Amino acid sequence: MKRILSLAIVLISAFSFVLAQGGDSMKPEVEAAKLFNEGNALLRSGNYKAAIEKYDQALKFQQDPKFYYNKGLAHKALRQNEEAINAFKQAINLKQDFAPAYNAIAGIYLVQGDYDNAIENYKKALEYDKKLDAAVKGIVEALIGKSNSLIQAGKFQEALDLLVQATSYRQDYPKVYVMLAIVYNKLSQHDKAVESAKKAIELNPKSADAYFELGIAYKKLGQVEEAKKAFLEAKKDPRLARNAQYELDLLKEQ
């Protein structure tokens, strides 16, 4: 929730209106701007329902994509995902190249596990704003999520294709390389598993999962001492301690 609020505050600042000075307060655009700013203040304070009311009032005076966008942020903060998506889509209807709205829709789909729709909307966001790093990260997270589902279903080659695609977007995600190591081990491509696990460890030296997959790969390659070292590192993580010890016990018999 804090992350949602911080993102909202940044975007609100970007879209803040400067109210006109003087006696023209009855102009529709001025009334709309006043209500919009009041809504933004309520959004920043966490009063999301009241913020939505202000944005709805502003929209009666002026149809502006920013009004719908911030209304969507308020609905999202309330976990009213359907209403949030509808508001973001209204923003897009008014401004087709409104990248933040696509990004926001994608973020909701990502949390819901709807990876295909998440990827589609992140790509639309990048189409209109190639420097939107949040969309790049989102695509990687969606590809990771979809790959994990494929791994659980035993569809390792399909998972591999998506993970390789993920590396074309970002090369600094250790989780991607851990999952690549898992898939390569499942596909008996143990040399590539070693390479991927080492890359994950380079990015995150404390990645016990990477060490475990490295141990599996070395074991399959017959490099017993290297496998032992890797499993000893993996064993430091309580989550993997039992499995790592099991592998170490098996190696003692060799």
The per-residue pLDDT string of the chain (254 residues; one tens digit each, 9 = 90 and over) reads 445 445 444 455 445 544 444 444 558 899 989 999 999 999 999 999 999 999 999 999 999 999 999 999 999 999 999 999 999 999 999 999 999 999 999 999 999 999 999 999 999 999 999 999 999 999 999 999 999 999 999 999 999 999 999 999 999 999 999 999 999 999 999 999 999 999 999 999 999 999 999 999 999 999 999 999 999 999 999 999 999 999 999 998 77
Same domain, 82 and 108: no
* Structural domain boundaries, residue 176: 171-254
- Residues with Cβ within 8 Å of residue 166, at least 6 apart in sequence: 139, 140, 143, 144, 147, 173, 176
77, 69 contact by CB (below 8 A):
no
pTM (2 decimals)? 0.84
Same domain, 114 and 46: no
36, 58 contact by CB (below 8 A):
yes
Q: How many residues does the chain have?
A: 254
In the chain, count H helices and then E strands: 14, 0
Please tell me the predicted confidence (pLDDT) of residue 162: 98
Same domain, 74 and 149: no
Q: Tell how far CA 231 is from the center of its chain.
A: 30
Instruction: Let me know if residue 217 belongs to a domain.
Output: yes
Instruction: Let me know if residue 192 belongs to a domain.
Output: yes
Same domain, 101 and 90: no
Same domain, 121 and 77: no
Same domain, 17 and 29: yes
Please tell me the predicted confidence (pLDDT) of residue 17: 47
Same domain, 1 and 89: yes
Same domain, 86 and 110: no
In the chain, how many domains are there?
3
What CATH number does residue 111 fall under? 1.25.40
In Å, the largest CA–CA distance within the chain is 89
Provide the angle, in degrees to the nearest 10, between the axes of the packed helices 133-152 and 115-128.
160
Instruction: Let me know if residue 163 belongs to a domain.
Output: no
130, 112 contact by CB (below 8 A):
no
E-strand spans in the chain?
none
Q: Which residue has the tokens 């596990």?
A: 113
Same domain, 5 and 79: yes
Structure tokens of 129?
Answer: 């704003």
Same domain, 39 and 111: no
Same domain, 16 and 78: yes
* Neighbour count for residue 116 (Cβ, 10 Å): 10
Instruction: Let me know if residue 207 belongs to a domain.
Output: yes
Instruction: Let me know if residue 148 belongs to a domain.
Output: yes
Four-point Cα dihedral 124, 126, 127, 130, nearest 10: 170
Instruction: Let me know if residue 74 belongs to a domain.
Output: yes
Q: Decide which of 95, 124, 140 is a domain's last residue.
A: 95
Distance between start and end Cα atoms, the chain: 51
